[in-house]
Structure 1
Amino acid sequence: MEEKTERWRQRLTMFGKALSRMDEVISLRRSRKLSNLECDGMIQRFEYTQELAWKLLKNYIEYQGEAQLGGSRDTIRQAFRLGLIENVEPWFDMLESRNLTSHVYDEDTELTVIERIVDTYFPILNSLYAKMLKIAN
């Protein structure tokens, strides 16, 4: 059990650092137009922050004694059932956006995902972080 406690707490720390890095580029985006390189950086930061988010949820749920979870969709559904997240739909949209940015390069898709990151995904990731910090303390 101690190993599982340590795993989700370590994941929470990494997730917090990733969110902080994502905040840097989002703050830039709010103050000015991003260069192509900065847009690519935002997408990259989104990808690893999103990955850490669902893995944090998975580790925490397993720490709570829940059955072994499958992938990200199962984890998101269970996180919703447990009240860790408020709505599965933006989380599923986030997964879809992450898959698009990982496997397809298209400038229009990139710009659409960047808008979603700023307006939707970053706020729900911050909400998750705040909730998990409360649980950790």
Structure 2
Amino acid sequence: MNKERLFEKLSDYRRASRRLNEATRIQLDDDIVYDGVIQRFEFTFELSWKLMKMYLEYTGISELKSPRATIREAYTYGLIEDGDQWIDMMIDRNKTSHLYDEEEAKLIYKKVKNIYSNLLSNLGRTLEEELKKIW
């Protein structure tokens, strides 16, 4: 894994995170807003754990085979500040793949808007600082 690839992935992640934050600020006039926010959340979460995995592997931490293992190691390493919330986020992300319950979708939307988007943004800032140190 090279540094350039890490910076490229971070750039992709930051863009996705910004788009998610933008989506959470849209007025809820239609159910399609819920759908769009949840879809952006799914995409951003997937990028987040894969980026954490890539960074941790770059630093010499390997054998990370799942999002849960990656989140735990990222918390131990100090990349993320609230490991329990990240695990909750992963569980909610897994729910969204099979989500047919409108009330559940609205609950996840609220968590994305009020909690998860901040955690995802914080990860981007933390990784940006970490990558500056190795560049």
The two structures have a TM-score, normalised by structure 2, of 0.92
Aligned match of 1:134: 129
Give every structure 1 segment of 4 or more consecutive aligned residues whose post-TM-superposition deviation is greater than 4 Å. none
Aligned match of 1:120: 115
Per the TM alignment, residue 122 of structure 1 is displaced from its structure 2 partner at its CA by 0.5
Q: Counterparts of 2:95 and 2:29 in 1: how far apart (Å)?
A: 20
The Cα RMSD (Å) is 1.2
Per the TM alignment, residue 6 of structure 1 is displaced from its structure 2 partner at its CA by 3.0
Q: Counterparts of 2:76 and 2:14 in 1: how far apart (Å)?
A: 23
Determine helix, strand or coil for the equivalent of 2:97: helix
1:18 to 11, 16, 19: 16
Q: Counterparts of 1:45 and 1:104 in 2: how far apart (Å)?
A: 15
Q: Counterparts of 1:34 and 1:43 in 2: how far apart (Å)?
A: 16
What is the aligned residue count? 132
Distance 1:8 1:34, change over 3 A: farther
Q: Counterparts of 2:62 and 2:49 in 1: how far apart (Å)?
A: 16
1:96 to 87, 91, 94: 91
Aligned match of 1:27: 25
Identical-pair percentage? 36
Per the TM alignment, residue 66 of structure 1 is displaced from its structure 2 partner at its CA by 1.1
Q: Deviations over 1:38-73 (max 9, x none)?
A: 210100000000000001100000000112311000
Task: Tell me if the contact between 1:15 and 1:53 (Cα under 8 Å) persists in the aligned partners.
Answer: yes
Q: Which has the higher contact order (CA 8 A, sep 6+)?
A: 2
| Partner amino acid, structure 2, of 1:108 | E
Task: Tell me if the contact between 2:99 and 2:105 (Cα under 8 Å) persists in the aligned partners.
Answer: no
Q: Which 5+ residue runs of structure 2 have no aligned equivalent?
A: none
Which range is displaced more, 57-66 or 78-87?
78-87
Task: Tell me if the contact between 1:11 and 1:55 (Cα under 8 Å) persists in the aligned partners.
Answer: no
Per the TM alignment, residue 82 of structure 1 is displaced from its structure 2 partner at its CA by 0.6
Distance 1:122 1:36, change over 3 A: same
Task: Tell me if the contact between 1:58 and 1:69 (Cα under 8 Å) persists in the aligned partners.
Answer: yes
